[in-house]
Every structure is written in structure tokens, then in C-alpha cells.
Structure 1
Amino acid sequence: MFELPSLNLKDQVSEQEWQLRVDLAACYRLVDHMRWGDLIYTHMSARLPGTDHYLVNAFGLSFDEVTASNLVKVDLAGNILDDTPFKINPAGFTIHSAIHEVREDAHCVIHLHTKETVAVASLECGLLPLSQHSMFSLPSLSYHGYEGLAVNDDERKRLQDDLGTTNHMLLVNHGGLTVGPTVGDAFMRFYDLQRACEIQLAIQSSAQPAVQVPQPIIDNIYNQANVVHSGSTGGQLAWPAMLRKAYRLDPTFAQ
């Protein structure tokens, strides 16, 4: 059986970078636990504050193998900056570097191929205002048309333009994407998007008439959420609990 190289960067990087590595590795483990993964594919990345460098998963590892130390540090040109035996997925680099290049606020980018986000992204109607969870995505939701595997540099500009200033995106025939100022914020936004898609598909499968939320409520939901979550997405409040959960599942992610 192939044994993964053992890496330990804890004492070789700054405290700030190490904490970011721990948070991102925990996010990979939580996504695996929630069955949102896609074998060795899809990606989550986190930018190192004050730099154009970001962390992403090593290509070929399943999400339950990701650790703080085996995350790969790259620049916006795709150059690997760590002394690491691992490589990165070119498709993941195309999507994540494109977003990090133009969104200074998007310190974390989550892109996943869950069956529910793929399904709703493939419906002509897209995401509908059918649940409270959808309310958190709809005021800041965009769409990007399918162009095949994301390995074409020409697609970067169209992806950037389609995302604009939104924080949630459905990639048509492809999956979901969220961004946030922290790993916790991006995670919470994907949780809401994923749950909204799950609920919508459950309602549509019932073949019964559905009650849609009126537009004035949709327009006001961010104001209400800011009051409840003290100005954040709720991710900063929920993340400590999620981090504790990741430690309970398997603390090796923090190595």
C-alpha cells in the first residue's frame, strides 16, 4: 500500500499561516464527513493575508488525508512555493486563482461538486426562494455557464465577471462555489447554499405547489441576518464549534 509522505511544517511557518492551514485542513475533513466530496477532485483554498499566495489541497489526496502540513502553497501563476512532493490540480488552480486575483475580500474559496448543487445549477429556474436557507444565498448569488473542464485560461475572465461582487455561485451543470473573508464564513455560506438546494429538490420531487418567499423579504434578509449574526455571515460564530467537531472526528488533520 502506498504510504503518504510525512510532513510537519508547524515550526517552519508563521503562527498566522499555521492557523490558516489548520482551519483549511479542518474544512476538508468536515466536507468529507458531510459527504460533499468528489473523490480526489474539487477544491478549497485560502489566501495568506497580505500576499498573493494561497493554500490548496494536494492533487491525488482524498479529503480525509488532507493535513495542515500537506496543503500546498502556490502563487497566482501556479508556482508551488513549498518544498513538497505534491502537485496541484490545474482545473482547481484555474478557478481559485481567478477569484483570488480579483477578490481581495475572498480569503477563502470553496468549490464543490455536490449532487444537489449540480442538480439545481442545471435547472433552468436555478435556485428558487423556497426556504429560509435559500434567503442567505439569493441576495448574493451568481451563475457561470459550463465551458467544459476548467483548464482554459480564457475562462478566467468570464468567471471573474460572472462572480462580480457576489459571495455564492452556481456553476451550471457543474456545482457550487462560495467565498468568504475567513474559512468559517465560506464554509457557512456553502452550508446554506447546499441546504437550500437539498430543500428545493425535496420540494420539487413532491410534485406539490410550493409557496415562494416574497421579494421584499428576500431583499431584507441580509439586514435581518446582520442583526442575528452581529454583522457576520454566522460562519465566525459557528466555526469554533465546527473546528471542535473536526478535532473529535480525527485530530490528525492538525498535523
Structure 2
Amino acid sequence: MTWFDWVNSLFMIVLCIATIYPFLHMLSVSFSTGSVRMDTFHLIPPEMTWANYKKVLSNDFMMSGFTNTLIRTVLGTALSVLFTIFTAYPLAKRYFPHRTFWTSLIVFTMFFSGGLIPNYLLVKGLGLMNTTWALVLPGLISTFSMIIARNYFMSLPETLEESAKIDGANEIVILFRIIIPISMPIIATLILWSAVGHWNAWFDSMIYMTDSHKHVLQVVMRRIVLEGTQDMLDVNKLSDDPNQVVNPDTIKAATVMVSVIPIILFYPFLQKYFVKGVLVGSLKG
């Protein structure tokens, strides 16, 4: 090994430790008893307990937030991927009229937007307040994701489409029966990006949702962890065990883990497609 390999390996080890340790520390605090505080560094709980998770998962705000986030993620991801493909596929065709103009117009939205107040007035004017559509429709298509998908479709051989047309297939049949089945790398990439984005989003919910029971999980977590809103979980009460006190720090740690673990478990299923989809989609065009 050269000196560069040693330095690179050491850097990666330090980076992995710096990335994994906070997660393991938070996981340890979430399983700890009420005597453990967030500023005490350890990887193994002194006394392990499930009381924190029981209190978090039995709370109405957490359950409603989890349900709202799950609905938003599934619905938003499905529609986002579908409409991104519907936009990217025509723009990938060289014979599409004024393709450069439409692509430039869409890219323009990456640098300029209407602003927060016009977006709020638009959502309110459409009657989308306190609905899931307010969280899904405004950001239905990501320009960056659309460009990556367009470049991927441009990398596919045109002979596939030509042979299908000879057999009598129209554009819809070609897209759903030929293009999409061989485009799983880019589709998996779009699903991952969209799902992670919807799962972690909180600002739009805080603006468009006035009913606390319609907030997504990240807003509930923010109110508990950052704002210290203890009444949402009533952490001043004892747990089911009279000898077991649940303190705010362990509750916050359990809240963070409940909001993080589901999306982490989702990633391995799409990992094998992710790198290929990004690589191919970023080179062509």
C-alpha cells in the first residue's frame, strides 16, 4: 500500500466513526432508563428498558404523525416518480418539438421560484390547506431528478423504440412495456430520492397544516426535540412501572430513532440500483 492508500483508509475510518457513533449513541440513550442524560457518552445502556419506546409509540401525536408521514411518502413518491417519467421521457426524444426550449424552461425553475408567500397563497386559494395534497402537489416534480431521468432515457438505444413501432406499438405501450422494465436503476434512484425527501420534510407541513393531528412525524419530532414541547408526550408522568421514570432526554432519543429507522431500513432494497442509476443518468446528454 502507498502512503495515499494509508491516508485514504485512515480518513474513511475516521469518517465512518464520526457518522456511526452519533447514531449508536442516540440508540443507546433511547434504550436507557431515566437516570441517563443526553450529554453522557456511552454506546451500551447501563440499564436497558423499552419504556421510552412504549411511551412514544402509544402517543396520539406520534401515531398520527407517523401515519401522515407514511401516507405522504407513499402517495408523494408514487406520483412524483410517475410524473417525472412522463416529463423526462418525451424530453429525451430528439424529434420532440422545441425540446431544448422546454428543457431550459424547466431548468429555469431550479434557480428561480415564486417565493414562500405566493406559494402559500396558491395552496390556500386552491383549498388544499390541511390536506395531504398540500404536501404532495407543490413539489410534485423535482427538476434535478427529471434531468437525471431524461439523461438516462437518452442513453437507451433508439432501436428498441423503432422495433416496437414496427410491431405496431404506440408511445404508451413502448413506455410501460419496454422502457420502464429496463429502467429500474433510474426508477429506483427516483424512488429513493423522493421517499427520503418526503419522509424528512417538515417545513411545508408546519406552514400548510393548522391541525396538530395532521402534522407529519418530523414536525412532531421537531416540537419535542428542538422546541422542548413536553406536553405532546407528557414526559413528566411516570411510566407503567412506578419505579421507572422516563425523562425528556431518553424520550427525545426514542422519538428520533422512531423517525429515522424506517427510512434507513428502506434504503438497502434499492441500493443495488442506486449507484448505476445516478452514474448513467449523470453522464449522458
Q: Which has the higher contact order (CA 8 A, sep 6+)?
A: 2
If the length of structure 1 is used for normalisation, what is the TM-score? 0.21
TM-score, L = length of structure 2: 0.20
Greater Rg over alpha carbons, structure: 2
Structure with greater proportional helix content: 2
Whose strand proportion is higher, 1 or 2? Answer: 1
